[in-house]
Structure 1
Amino acid sequence: MPSGEKVSIVSPMRLLALKVDVDTLRGTRTGVPALVELLRAEQAQATFLFSLGPDHTGRALKRVFRPGFLGKVKRTSVLEHYGLRTLLYGTLLPGPDIGLKTAPILRAVAAAGFEVGIHTWDHTAWQDNLHQRPPAWGRAQLGLACARFKKIFGEAPHVHGAAGWQMTEDALRWLDEQHFKWASDGRGQGPFRPLLGDHPARCLQLPTTLPTLDELIGLEGVDVSTVASKLLALTQEDPPLGHVFTLHAELEGQRLRPVFQELLRGWKTQGYQLVSLAQMASAMEFHPLPSCPMIQGSLPGRSGTLALQGTAR
């Protein structure tokens, strides 16, 4: 599967990998082609991670009782970004099968030279149920996504990025068993090998190191007009081993597209090479990396808990 155009890596410190999470049917149909066009115009690489099964976005509304969820909904204009129809999928409207309905769009992304991989089978189900269900349930969800990926692209996936940054040790172990090469399943400070018991996994983790736009907008006086400058201020200094930024087809591929373009140009001015996860993994090949557990924790601007990079052992 395409891993992105080759790029001359000068220093891993000035790499910024772009990870595109695609959660919904609307995001796939509208946001993905718009992002491909923008990234090609700005000569930037990225990794697209697809939701490949049913769009049950409407079922996420049950998170209304989760601390911080209503605040996030109000801050980020969920209805404006996702649309009413999407917010009814899985409740008043049946959840459409994203992979079946949009396979030509997904193949076009790979044909354009971008790395493609798995985000999830059912985004809402994974995000809300992974930690409440037995390990076999998570493995079944991953298996469904892999089977659909193979049907669409004709080969097995090698990169994974967990929906909602929800991950368990058993799911990490499954990635190793299925020979995934790298993943971006949680949040952290830089590339590492996740610990499975006492042993580091073969599948490299490239965690998201920067806050997302929806985490920043509405906090500390940040709005759509100032969020790019806020984020660019965080990338001014050299990171130890580069950055990973997660964007969403539903946001940066639609109404926040001008903000994302401002970020791309700002990062290039700062001297970053905008790369895929595959390209960042390649730059880490001969670099000593820590082995860290993945733990559960919280982050400002995001409701609930998620997978975080723990302290190196």
Structure 2
Amino acid sequence: MPSITLKIDVDTYRGTREGVPNLVRLLQQHQANASFLFSLGPDHTGWALRRAFRPGFFQKVSRTSVVEHYGLKTLMYGVLLPAPDIGRTCAAEMRAVRDAGFECGIHTWDHVVWQDHVRRRDATWTRTQMQKSFDRFTDIFGQPPQTHGAAGWQMNEHAFAQLDAFGMAYASDGRAQLTESGTLADPAAGPHRLSALGKTHSCIQLPTTLPTLDEMLGRSMHGAVVDTANIAAHLLKLTEQPRDHVYTLHAELEGQKLAPIFDQLLSGWRAQGYQCMAMADYYEQVKNEPLPTYPVSWGELPGRSGELILQA
């Protein structure tokens, strides 16, 4: 049976408080499994307004209604409002996810700081940021994290080395290359290892292989403009041919305004014969397979501004 691994990125305080419980209920209704990856430090979402100067940023904002999905208050955190400490104030919500039977892991310490700076930072800065999230996760859950999914699919070679130092066997920090229509540019894309800093790392990467909702909304795909009425159908068309996939969703989107679309996707994937699983489940399926090794690589994806980690 082919699988859809559901990787849930939780970026913000609001997403943790409101989107995460909604997703837990929806997944339980569909008897689907998933991995929740938490931002564990301050919510400085307002600092992301600096990205307005990047090519393609305004185009994405206009397509995805950032204010509608994230809320004006969230966009003021760190600018006009103090940044809430997500891990300190939302520990109960995070433990409730674990208690409901879902895998929990690390997304980042400070989402905006990591996404905007990690590519150019050194080993000391990188280890410090990752150790903060590791320690906070351990404090909240009483045990160390088993997995990681990078904020904004942004990493550096020191960060990949740190995953090995933490003893993480698997993570989902990058993406597979996609065509303009959302299909895989390389049909063989999938689990792999990375070579960096002169060595092959043991941590297996499980790259996201499908476009995200915010990358699709407002774009022309398959001859039609994608909107909330047809986006589920467009995404389900990409999974018509059975193969294992990793799909990244966001607590701020599928957990709130776009929850009805995620409901359609879960029903559609079941009808297509997929099993929805957590990253840990997918890792168990592939850990003994002979996996390819690639160098750390960067590139762009349709519908997303800036470069991110891509499977070479």
**1:122 is aligned to 2:110:** yes
Q: Is the 8 Å Cα contact of residues 120 and 156 (structure 2) preserved in structure 1?
A: no
**1:84 is aligned to 2:72:** yes
Task: Give the equivalent residue in structure 2 for 1:248.
Answer: 250
Q: In the superposition, relative to structure 1, how do residues 216 and 112 fare at CA in structure 2: closer, same or farther (>3 Å)? A: same
**1:238 is aligned to 2:242:** yes
Q: Is the 8 Å Cα contact of residues 9 and 251 (structure 2) preserved in structure 1?
A: yes
Aligned-partner Cα distance in 2 for 1:45–1:54: 28
Aligned-partner Cα distance in 2 for 1:283–1:200: 21
**Aligned ranges 1:146-295 → 2 under 5 Å:** 146-188=134-176, 189-220=189-220, 221-239=225-243, 242-295=244-297
Q: Is the 8 Å Cα contact of residues 299 and 307 (structure 2) preserved in structure 1?
A: yes
Aligned-partner Cα distance in 2 for 1:169–1:285: 22
Q: In the superposition, relative to structure 1, how do residues 286 and 132 fare at CA in structure 2: closer, same or farther (>3 Å)? A: closer
**1:54 is aligned to 2:42:** yes
Deviation, 1:299, is: 0.3
Deviation, 1:198, is: 4.8
User: What RMSD over aligned residues (CA atoms) do the two structures have, in Å?
Assistant: 0.9
What is the CA deviation profile of residues 19-43 of structure 1, one whole-angstrom value per residue up to 9, with x for unaligned ones? 0000000000000000000000100
SS in 2 for 1:247: strand
SS in 1 for 2:160: helix
SS in 2 for 1:37: helix
Aligned-partner Cα distance in 1 for 2:198–2:119: 21
**1:140 is aligned to 2:140:** no
What is the CA deviation profile of residues 148-199 of structure 1, one whole-angstrom value per residue up to 9, with x for unaligned ones? 0010000110100000000111100010011011100000221001112453
Gaps of 5+ in 1: 1-10
**Could you tell me which amino acid in structure 1 is paired with residue 122 of structure 2?**
P
What is the CA deviation profile of residues 32-80 of structure 1, one whole-angstrom value per residue up to 9, with x for unaligned ones? 0000000001000000000000000000000001011111111000000
SS in 2 for 1:89: coil
Deviation, 1:238, is: 2.3
Q: Is the 8 Å Cα contact of residues 45 and 77 (structure 2) preserved in structure 1?
A: yes
Total equivalences in the alignment = 296
SS in 2 for 1:159: coil
SS in 1 for 2:88: helix
**Could you tell me which amino acid in structure 1 is paired with residue 267 of structure 2?**
R
Gaps of 5+ in 2: 177-188
- Relative to the length of structure 2, the TM-score reads 0.93
Aligned-partner Cα distance in 2 for 1:299–1:20: 19
The correspondence for 2:22, drawn from 30, 34, 38, is 34
Deviation, 1:133, is: 2.5
Percent of paired sites with the same residue = 56
Aligned-partner Cα distance in 2 for 1:153–1:67: 40
Poorly superposed stretches of 4+, deviation over 4 Å? none
SS in 1 for 2:207: coil
